[in-house]
Every structure is written in C-alpha cells, then in structure tokens.
Amino acid sequence: MARPKPAPTAPPAPGYFVSEFLNLPVLDVSREPVGRIRDLVVGTGAKSTFPRVTGLLLREGFESFVLPWHDVAIFAHGSVRTRLSRADVIHRAPEEDEILLAKDLLDKQIVDISGVKVVRVNDLKLDFVEGDLVLTAADVGVRGILRRVFGVGMTPRGGRWSDASMPPRLIPWDSMQPIHPKLDRLETTLPQEKLRRLHPADIAELIAQVSTKEGAEVFRKLDVETAAQTLHELEPELQVDLIEELPREEVSDILEQMPADEAADILGDLAGDEARDLVKRMEKDAAEEVTELLVHDEDTAGGMMGTEYISFPPGTTVAEAFARLRVLARDAELITDVFVVGPHEELLGSLSLRDLLAADDDAPLEQVMRVPARSVPAELPVKDVIELMAKYDLLELPVTGLDGGLLGTIAIEDVVACLTPRERARRRLR
C-alpha cells in the first residue's frame, strides 16, 4: 500500500523591513499619489508583546502627515495603497505619544538580553499577526546595513546575496531592551523581567559598553537589590559617573542594600561633600556601619573588613546556635565561622561550621569554641592580612579594636577580590 504524500507546507512568511518602505509612494483608490512614506508610526497606548503599527507618516511636498493604519488597503513589497481618495485623506500631525520607527529606533543602541551584549539597530522587521502589522525584531547584522544602502537583496557590486552567504542577525523584540528613554513607552514588562534575571556581572558589562547617560537608563530599570549587586560589579570610575546621573535618594536606597564594606568602598571614591550627603540620607543603622568603616585606611584590615558576621553569647548551646543560624543563613552571603563574644562585644573564641556539627547539641559554645581566636588589629596592613590567612588556611579572620571588641571580619573572598587586577586598580585610584 502506497504511503500518502505529505501535504505541502507553505514557505515561512518573509516579513517586511522598515527600510523597504521608506520613500515608497502611497497611491489612493484611483492610483493617484498621496505622498511618500517617510516613517512608520507605532502607538504606545496599549501594552503588548509586539508593538503595533498605527499609521504611516507621509510626506507630500513640504508637508508631513499621518495616514491611519485603518485607511491602508494594501501593504505589500513595492506597493502601498489607501482605500481613500486623495481628497478624503485627512492631514494630521503625529501625536505626542506616538513613536516613529525609523527616526526613533534605527541606528540606536539596544540591549540584546539573550546574547548579553549591546548592539546597533540596522533595520526593523515587521510581520502581520492576527491582521495587525507589528514590530517583531531588529536586524543588527550586515544585511540590515546593505538593505538600507543598496536595496533589498543587493550587494555593493550589484549582485544579490543569498541566505546561505549572509544569514540574518535578527533579535526578537521581546529579547530587546531599548536604552533611549523615549522608547520606554514601547516596552513591555517582559524585556525588563529578562534584564533583571541576568547576572549582575553581565548587566555591569552591558552598562560599561554604552555612555554614562545610557548606562543610567539601563540601571534605572533594575530593582534596588539587583542595582546594588550591579553597582558593586562596575569599575570605580564608572560607579562614580553613574551615581552622578542618579537622584540622591535613589543612590542612598541602593547603598543601603549593599554590604557596609562595599558601600564604604564606593563612598570613599566620591567627593567628601557628596559622600556625607549620601550618608545623611541613609537609614541610621546603615549609616553608622558605613561611617565606622570610612574611618579606617583602605590598605588596612579595618578598611578591608566587612561588618556582617554572626556571633553568640558564650552560654548559647550548639542546638540554639543552629536554630538561629537557620534564620540568619537566609540573608547571609557566606557563612564559614561563628564567633563567641562577651557582653561588651569582646572576642572570646570562634567555631567553624565543622566544629558545630561535631559538638553535642546541649554543649554551650564556650566549651567547644577555639581559644584564643586568631584575630588581627584594625590597623594591620592588608599585605600582612593576606600572608596570615594564607599561612594558616583561614576562611574568615576577625578584626578587633584597641579594646579587644569585635569590629568585623575578613572573608577569604575579600582576599581573593583584593588580589584581582580590578581591585588592585581600585586601591591605586584612592
């Protein structure tokens, strides 16, 4: 029995590109010219995944006007017609809330969220979706440039390209994040959500590829927590430039979300008056932590330490410590050691998580802690701190004041960061 032949499949719709229609004549119902296409208009009133074309911006002589999309009868390659007569076409100017695709998007930089890079829009792809002409993708490849300069499918020497020799580089609209503030009105929530899901280091890399003003536009789209993590990933010079572009209240909110030592690093790179103003705007507890760190020289243990550590009174049992750790661990970036302190925060001893796991649940910490706890004074130079932690394979090192009180700790990740070229450069700049 012969197998039935599969039904033929229709070739995929090629779609349209904005450059194909620029300067194309529009004819009325009697095939009389109405004007030439200067641009395509997109409305910003309704939020949708793909922005919908709402009209054509035509030029007739020295006058430009919008032909509403519902008056367009034919929109095809090489042919655009209106269902109206020339006399019935109403000349109106573009509305304040309308975006012009060619003027406002072509040659602009956008964030390719999927590829995690900044690219330039060379052309724009349009498709019919459920009867509407919508913006579906940006062409960021060479084909987009050639199409605009030489025409559809043409090469500089008059030949034709093939899909195999020059594949398109299209970025779907729902994977793009426009940078220009005017284009925010075209955004859906989807690109912003995708942007926020990127690693802060990737977002920082994107911001570093554009101007400070454009970087600030990307930065403003982040929630406070992501913004704080991203700010930490930026180079010191860019941190300062970016902060200058943002409102003071917004900056202080971001600094409050950062570990005190990271916030102090940033404030230390700012001018004194600006730093003091930002500290005044911060919540009291956060401001006090940052202020305490700023008094230490950046090349000392005090300037290197963080103030977020976990400590318990000596009478705390192992079981009680674990119960508390389960709560504290939700907000802690890294836990390696816990510290035992007296009533005046004097350092009595320390325990690693391994020590806790090996101890009996009902044993008080003062019976199982390591005494004396290895610590360093806040004035100790950073190079000595690094040597000490390397010599004794320490994951966390407590820093104490002149009275023996626990001021903070230096984690092994702080040492690693200090040894990277980026952090070394940061210290040279101060």
Positive or negative, the Cα torsion across 350, 353, 354, 359? positive
pLDDT tens digits along 26-46 = 999 999 999 999 999 998 766
In terms of DSSP bridges, do strands 311-312 and 337-341 run parallel, antiparallel, or are they unpaired?
parallel
Give CA–CA dist 379/407, Å, rounded. Answer: 12
Same-domain status, 254 and 333: no
- The pLDDT assigned to 43 comes to 82
Residue whose structure tokens are 């390719």 = 112
Q: Do the domain assignments include residue 177? A: yes
Q: What is the domain-level CATH number for residue 370?
A: 3.10.580.10
Q: What is the domain-level CATH number for residue 251?
A: 1.25.60.10
Residue whose structure tokens are 């994977």 = 175
Q: What is the domain-level CATH number for residue 143?
A: 2.30.30.240
Q: Do the domain assignments include residue 204? A: yes
Same-domain status, 319 and 375: yes
Q: Do the domain assignments include residue 11? A: no
Q: Do the domain assignments include residue 142? A: yes
Strand ranges (E), 130-273? 132-139, 170-172, 176-178
Q: Do the domain assignments include residue 7? A: no
Q: Which of 186, 217, 237 is the last residue of a domain?
A: 186
155: helix, coil or strand?
Answer: coil
Same-domain status, 117 and 221: no
Same-domain status, 35 and 178: yes
Q: Are 293 and 407 in contact (CB under 8 A)?
A: no
What does pTM read for this prediction? 0.67
Q: Do the domain assignments include residue 305? A: no
Q: Which of 235, 262, 295 is the last residue of a domain?
A: 295
Same-domain status, 134 and 214: no
> What are the residue ranges in the chain where pLDDT is below 70?
1-14, 45-48, 152-167, 184-190, 420-430
Instruction: Collect all residues with Cβ–Cβ distance below 8 Å to 77 and sequence separation of at least 6.
Output: 16, 20, 152
Same-domain status, 333 and 401: yes
Q: Which of 157, 186, 215 is the last residue of a domain?
A: 186
- The pLDDT assigned to 427 comes to 44
Give CA–CA dist 155/172, Å, rounded. Answer: 25
- Full residue range of the structural domain in which residue 376 is found: 311-429
Q: Do the domain assignments include residue 87? A: yes
Q: Do the domain assignments include residue 336? A: yes
Phi, psi values for residue 158, rounded to 5°: 90, -5
Phi, psi values for residue 223, rounded to 5°: -70, 165
Neighbours of 411 (CB within 10 A): 24
Give CA–CA dist 427/409, Å, rounded. Answer: 19
Structure tokens at 280: 């005044």
pLDDT tens digits along 168-205 = 789 998 888 887 777 766 665 567 778 888 899 999 99
Same-domain status, 334 and 406: yes
Give CA–CA dist 194/199, Å, rounded. Answer: 11
Residue whose structure tokens are 């950073």 = 382
Domain count of the chain? 3
Same-domain status, 285 and 350: no
Phi, psi values for residue 345, rounded to 5°: 65, 15
Same-domain status, 172 and 207: no
Same-domain status, 177 and 74: yes
Identify any residues that bridge with 63 across adjacent strands, giving them in sequence order.
60
Same-domain status, 369 and 389: yes
Q: Are 16 and 127 in contact (CB under 8 A)?
A: yes
In terms of DSSP bridges, do strands 396-400 and 376-377 run parallel, antiparallel, or are they unpaired?
parallel
Same-domain status, 46 and 163: yes
